Amino acid sequence: MTFSLLYSTALIMKLMDSFFFLALVPLALALENGLMRTPPMGWLSWERFRCNTDCKSDPHSCISEKLFMDMADRLATDGWRELGYVYVNIDDCWMAKERSATGQLIPDPERFPSGIKALADYVHARGLKLGIYGDMATLAPSLVEGTLWGVDMLKFDGCYSSSDVQAQGYPKMSRALNATGRPIAYSCSWPAYRGGLPPQVNYTLLANICNLWRNYGDIQDSWDSVLSIVDWFSANQDILQPVAGPGHWNDPDMLIIGNFGLSCEQARSQMALWTIMAAPLFMSTDLRAISESAKEILKNKLMIKINQDPLGIQGRRILQEKSHIEVFLRPLSHSASALVFFSRRTDMPYRYTTSLAQLNFTQDVVYEAQDVYTGQIISGLKAADNFTIVVNPSGVVMWYLYPTMYLDQYNIMAHLKIF
Ligand SMILES: *[C@@H]1O[C@H](CO)[C@@H](O)[C@H](O)[C@H]1NC(C)=O
Ligand SMILES: *[C@@H]1O[C@H](CO)[C@@H](O)[C@H](O)[C@H]1NC(C)=O
Ligand SMILES: *[C@@H]1O[C@H](CO)[C@@H](O)[C@H](O)[C@H]1NC(C)=O
Ligand SMILES: *[C@@H]1O[C@H](CO)[C@@H](O)[C@H](O)[C@H]1NC(C)=O
């Protein structure tokens, strides 16, 4: 027998309690520019287009204003913008080799003949935002142009700078951005130069001055590279996980989905694992030539909803099985959660049997799970129920899991409609 139950605060608290083992205290202090309350989404040139400045022989793929205009067109007309992919971000190699007569940084006049301000206008006219890149060694003195140009985000790199210069430079740039009065999201590459186990980084300070930060080395177009990032993030999750939250994110680097290095299973895995990590979703692929299967992964609405969950809690790896299946969990709003079952196997699809109780979900709730990739719904799942899923080699099964019923002390089901 089921009957409706108005949801009371106590009941909601009870459901929330089931995640007590993940209870996390958000940082009291964080950068207060109001930006990036959920992980940023967009497109960034580096992984796919690098420092290709040869516009004579490769006009279609060189770093030029045309490339960024083309990508802005694709984001605006192919349905990306509506899903949240709004940043069009320039990375390195946009600058002229020589400064202007007055000593200012300028974009390469042949590759960016209209200038950055015109590019920003072009991007803004399509409802998008423009990000730009600078290195500490060169950009700091030219911040003023960035402001005049109307950019919306700055990725501030620290190559060729000593650790002392970085320690001064990153907070200084944060204050300078604030002083411009224009809301400019701030991506810091500082910790990427302080890797190691454990990372030699003051993440509290970073969350106070940056909206996101690149924790680790640059991603390359390979599965090995994706795995090395997942390994490093998981090994350091006790340090990294608590520092993420609305306005301040760990950044495991770009999505390489749509390029050459990943199989379809691996592409699904990158998307799922990045989403569990509450990672920024910056695609670095040629949106003019992307395959339908890659598009489908990147445009998965439930995936994006999970990535953009307003609580902004980063997930964790909660289990590594001897069978080389790993389980990741991210708590979401409305007592929901995302689960990723990830196979490190290289033999064949693996039949993995477990139960929510084994994953420490609370006993007195009935759950429903939606498979994020297939859309299949599993109803009436109790914590003690064993279930078997099939996880492909280097692939994932991802679930959006939410409570639908609450079992009271007499084990009578009380109907709880949360959605
Ligand atoms: C500058 O910082 C102050 C205090 O944290 C904040 O209220 C303000 O919105 C910031 N302005 C910009 C443009 O980031
Ligand atoms: C880290 O930075 C915070 C905020 O600036 C500061 O209060 C704290 O003392 C720093 N911790 C260490 C170990 O330096
Ligand atoms: C479940 O909880 C037990 C006891 O606290 C702990 O040892 C175990 O690692 C947890 N398992 C998972 C998957 O979180
Ligand atoms: C689930 O499987 C475990 C062993 O893997 C077993 O002990 C338990 O009885 C099973 N539970 C149910 C409800 O079948």
pLDDT of residue 135: 87
Contacts of residues 375-379 at CB distance under 8 Å and 24 or more positions apart, as own/partner, are: 379/404
Tokens representing residue 287 in the block: 């949106």
Which atom number of ligand 1 is nearest to the Cα of residue 181? 13
Calculate ∠ Cα 387-392-393, nearest 5°.
130
Distance between CA atoms of residues 152 and 159, nearest Å: 22
Question: One digit per residue, pLDDT tens: the chain, 419 residues?
Answer: 222 223 232 332 333 333 333 333 343 467 889 999 999 999 999 999 999 999 999 999 999 999 999 999 999 999 999 999 999 999 999 999 888 887 778 899 999 999 999 999 999 999 999 999 988 877 655 555 556 689 999 999 988 888 888 899 999 999 999 998 999 999 999 988 876 667 788 999 999 999 999 999 999 999 999 999 999 999 999 999 999 999 999 999 999 999 999 999 999 999 999 999 999 999 999 999 999 999 999 999 999 999 999 999 999 999 999 999 999 999 999 999 999 999 999 999 999 999 999 999 998 899 999 999 999 999 999 999 999 999 999 999 999 999 998 876 555 555 544 43
How close is the Cα of 354 to the center of ligand 4, in Å?
9
Ligand 2 near 360 CB (within 6 A): no
Q: Is 92 a catalytic residue?
A: no
Q: 382-412: b or e for each residue (b if 16 or more CB lie within 10 Å)?
A: bbeeeeebebbbbbbbbbbbbbbbbbeeeee
Which domains are delineated in the chain?
9-307 (3.20.20.70), 316-415 (2.60.40.1180)
Q: Is 135 a catalytic residue?
A: no
CB within 8 A of 26, min separation 6: which ones?
245, 246
Calculate ∠ Cα 54-60-65, nearest 5°.
80
CB 206 within 8 A of CB 243: yes
Q: Is 114 helix (H, G, I), strand (E, B) or coil?
A: coil
How close is the Cα of 167 to the center of ligand 1, in Å?
21
Ligand 1 near 202 CB (within 6 A): no
Distance between CA atoms of residues 381 and 358, nearest Å: 13
CB 307 within 8 A of CB 272: no
How close is the Cα of 235 to the center of ligand 3, in Å?
17
| Residue-level length of the chain | 419
Give the phi and the psi of residue 161 in degrees, each rounded to 5.
Answer: -115, 140
pLDDT of residue 271: 99
Ligand 1 near 183 CB (within 6 A): yes
Distance between CA atoms of residues 42 and 346, nearest Å: 32
Which atom number of ligand 1 is nearest to the Cα of residue 183? 13
Q: Is 78 helix (H, G, I), strand (E, B) or coil?
A: coil
State the pTM of this model: 0.92
Q: Which numbered ligand comes closest to the C-alpha of 179? A: 1
Give the phi and the psi of residue 377 in degrees, each rounded to 5.
Answer: -115, 135
Q: Which numbered ligand comes closest to the C-alpha of 184? A: 1
* Torsion angle (degrees, nearest 10) of CA 273, 348, 391, 245: -10
Q: What is the DSSP letter of 176?
A: H
Distance between CA atoms of residues 329 and 340, nearest Å: 7
- CA-nearest residue for atom 13, ligand 2, is 202
Calculate ∠ Cα 87-372-403, nearest 5°.
115
Q: Which numbered ligand comes closest to the C-alpha of 382? A: 4
Distance between CA atoms of residues 186 and 170, nearest Å: 10
Give the gyration radius of the chain's Cα atoms.
23
How close is the Cα of 205 to the center of ligand 2, in Å?
6
Q: Strand locations in 112-254, DSSP E? A: 129-135, 153-157, 185-188, 212-214, 249-251
Q: Which of 17, 218, 231, 385 is catalytic?
A: 218
Ligand 1 near 181 CB (within 6 A): yes
Q: Which of 152, 157, 251, 253 is catalytic?
A: 157
Q: Which numbered ligand comes closest to the C-alpha of 185? A: 1
Ligand 1 near 32 CB (within 6 A): yes
pLDDT of residue 103: 75
Alpha helices in 88-162 (DSSP H): 115-125, 143-149
Ligand 3 near 5 CB (within 6 A): no
Residues with a CB atom less than 6 Å from ligand 4: 355, 384-386
- CA-nearest residue for atom 5, ligand 1, is 32
How close is the Cα of 202 to the center of ligand 2, in Å?
6
Ligand 2 near 171 CB (within 6 A): no
> Which residue from 190, 194, 226 is spatially nearest to 47, judged by alpha carbons?
226
pLDDT of residue 23: 33
Distance between CA atoms of residues 286 and 45, nearest Å: 9
Tokens representing residue 379 in the block: 């109803």
- CA-nearest residue for atom 10, ligand 4, is 386
Tokens representing residue 228 in the block: 């090395």
Q: Is 277 helix (H, G, I), strand (E, B) or coil?
A: coil
